[in-house]
Amino acid sequence: MPDVHVLVNDFLNNLKKRKIEGSQATARQTAELLRSVISQQRVSYTNQAGALMDAVRAVGEQLIAANPVELAVGNIVRRVLHIIREEDLSLTTAAIAGLGVSAVSDDDDDAEGNDHPVLSAASLAAAARSTLRPPSLQTLLEDVPDSAAVPHTSSSGGDSDGKSRSADKSSRTRKLKHDVIEAVNELIQDITTCHEQIAEQAVEHIHQNEVILTLGSSRTVLEFLCAAKEKKRSFRVFVAEGAPRYQGHLLAKELVTRGLQTTLITDSAVFAMISRVNMVIVGAHAVMANGGVIAPVGLNMVALAAQRHAVPFVVLAGTHKLCPLYPHNPEVLLNELRSPSELLDFGEFSDCMDFGNDTSSPLLHVVNPTFDYVPPKLVNLFITDTGGHNPSYMYRLIADYYSADDLVVQRRPTGGS
């Protein structure tokens, strides 16, 4: 197996150089890298979950800094941290339950006659609430007072009991890593199949003889529309070209290849054509906790046109694009500027780009943003691989995948008072 440091450095270079196209590919590769980090991480008997989380945070902090605009990286890092918390809580709860749980009894005779340790339901709940907080639950289990432990036997019996506890701790360590890796594998599978899961819902939303408008190119939108076509739905698609990269040209060509009636329009023609449209279906770069959408540039204009003409605006997004942060959070970088060469030819405009005689800056400035922000009030429906959701419900859906303690991915201080 390759050294994890080599894998991390290679992935960091790919992120910095923008060599990975698309949120899905980025999310999948991030999850695979973190799986390798967890697999090769050596953990002690105590605070096993904390050790795994520190390792994930250390790598995740570097990955997020390498490409802050690709929010899918931070999403997956936080999802993996949440998985570790959930699996550790599950194992800890099972271990505590194995010691025995009972209600408090008023029968003194029963209490005196029972030589085995008994934990109340209140003790179990208190221990569960303390998960991953100092002192760790692992330590809590191991430091059960002698008065509550199984009565002492002979020295040979004590040695046997010590070996048994050591073997149990080793087994629990392997069990935690195994369960976490299995959960990460399920996450990778969900990311890989998100397009198919979303596309299965197409027939519920696209009806006969409708006109659908989209902008740019999105594989999720492509599979969604083609799935409706395969279900014998007959409809027409208007594709806004998505200047300046003109990704809509690629989508229009692919739709025609799949047998869909397609009309390619300019971005500036959206308002002119929107009155003929029954539904707007678009992809997203990220979905924020407030239901706002970070999407390819131009989509805010499409959303405003749809609202003006009362046309439903539907956003397709896999759960790996659900971000637990809000747009105003300082950790969120909403946009980046692409090369001006996508807008104009430097040779043709070289005279405009020359520095003026009395100024220290060019006479012509070119701004080429990558993304738009679409506020939640302009979105009618989100369709994810788990189903359709209103914008007002997104915060609750996102809460199922993340822990509030992991919103800021930073390594915790290792010592000091």
In a domain, 93, yes or no: no
CB 91 within 8 A of CB 175: yes
In a domain, 202, yes or no: yes
CA-based radius of gyration for the chain: 28
**Which residue, among 200, 206, 384, 387, has the nearest Cα to 280 in the 3D structure?**
206
**Which residue, among 105, 103, 124, 116, has the nearest Cα to 147 in the 3D structure?**
116
Q: Dig out the tokens for 361 from the structure.
A: 């800056």
Edge-to-edge strands, sheet with 279-282: 261-265, 236-240, 211-215, 279-282, 313-316, 381-384, 387-389
User: What pLDDT is stored for residue 416 in this prediction?
Assistant: 47
Give the domain range for residue 364. 193-406
In a domain, 369, yes or no: yes
Query: What residue has token string 């599978």?
Result: 189
- Sequential DSSP letters for 116-135: S--EEHHHHHHHHHTTTSSS
DSSP H helices, 117-246, are 121-129, 137-142, 155-192, 194-199, 202-205, 219-230
Answering whether pTM is above 0.85, one says no
Q: Dig out the tokens for 242 from the structure.
A: 């998505």
User: What pLDDT is stored for residue 167 in this prediction?
Assistant: 53
DSSP state of 241: -
Distance separating alpha carbons of residues 35 and 187, to the nearest angstrom: 10
The predicted-structure confidence for 307-360, as pLDDT tens digits, reads as follows 999 999 999 999 999 999 999 988 888 899 998 889 888 777 776 765 555 556
AA identity, residue 214: T
Distance separating alpha carbons of residues 26 and 188, to the nearest angstrom: 11
- The CATH number of the domain holding residue 354 is 3.40.50.10470
Number of domains in the chain: 1
In a domain, 63, yes or no: no
Q: Dig out the tokens for 234 from the structure.
A: 């007959």
Q: Dig out the tokens for 395 from the structure.
A: 């915060």
CB 73 within 8 A of CB 285: no
DSSP state of 275: G
AA identity, residue 155: S
In a domain, 365, yes or no: yes
Q: Which residues of the chain have pLDDT under 50?
A: 101-114, 116-117, 120-122, 124-126, 129-140, 142, 144-154, 416-417
User: What pLDDT is stored for residue 161 in this prediction?
Assistant: 58
Q: Other C-beta atoms within 10 Å of 129: how many?
A: 10
**Pairing between β-strand 286-287 and β-strand 293-296 as defined by DSSP bridges:** antiparallel
Q: Other C-beta atoms within 10 Å of 402: how many?
A: 20
AA identity, residue 45: Y
In a domain, 399, yes or no: yes
In a domain, 86, yes or no: no
Distance separating alpha carbons of residues 365 and 353, to the nearest angstrom: 8
Q: With left for phi above 0 and alpha for psi between -120 and 50, is residue 246 left, alpha or beta?
A: left
Distance separating alpha carbons of residues 88 and 86, to the nearest angstrom: 5
In a domain, 30, yes or no: no
